[in-house]
Amino acid sequence: MTHPRQQPGQSFEDHQRETATWIGTSVAEMNRSHDRWHVSLAKWLGTTSNALRSATGACLTEREAMLAGMEEDAVLAISRYAVHAGVEVP
C-alpha cells in the first residue's frame, strides 16, 4: 500500500492526519521525525536530500525533482515501517 495522497479540496491538516494515521503515529510525532528521516536516508545512501533541498527553495533539475518525489515516498514508507517495528529515528 502506498501512502495517502492529498485529494483535491482536502485541507493540509486533514491530509496530515490521514498520513499520520496511515503511518501509525500522531501528526506531531510525524512532523517531529520527518526531516530527520530524510537526513538519515540520504546519509545511509551517501547522497543529498533532494526533498529537503526542494523544501528550502532550491531550484532542482528535472531529475532531482523526480528523485525528491521518490525520496518522499521512501521516507513515508520507512516512517511507517519504523513505527510498526518499534524503531526510533537514527
Q: Is the pLDDT of residue 87 over 80?
A: yes
Q: Is the pLDDT of residue 63 over 80?
A: yes
- Within 10 angstroms of residue 30's Cβ, the number of other Cβ atoms is 22
Which band of pLDDT confidence, cut at 50, 70 and 90, is reported for residue 56?
very high
The CA distances from residue 64 to 14, 16, 67, 68, in Å, are: 28, 24, 5, 6
Return mean pLDDT, the chain.
94
Chain-centroid distance of CA 75 in Å reads 4
- Using an 8 Å Cβ cutoff, are 65 and 50 in contact? yes
pTM exceeding the 0.75 threshold for the entire prediction: yes
Check residue 1 and give its pLDDT: 63
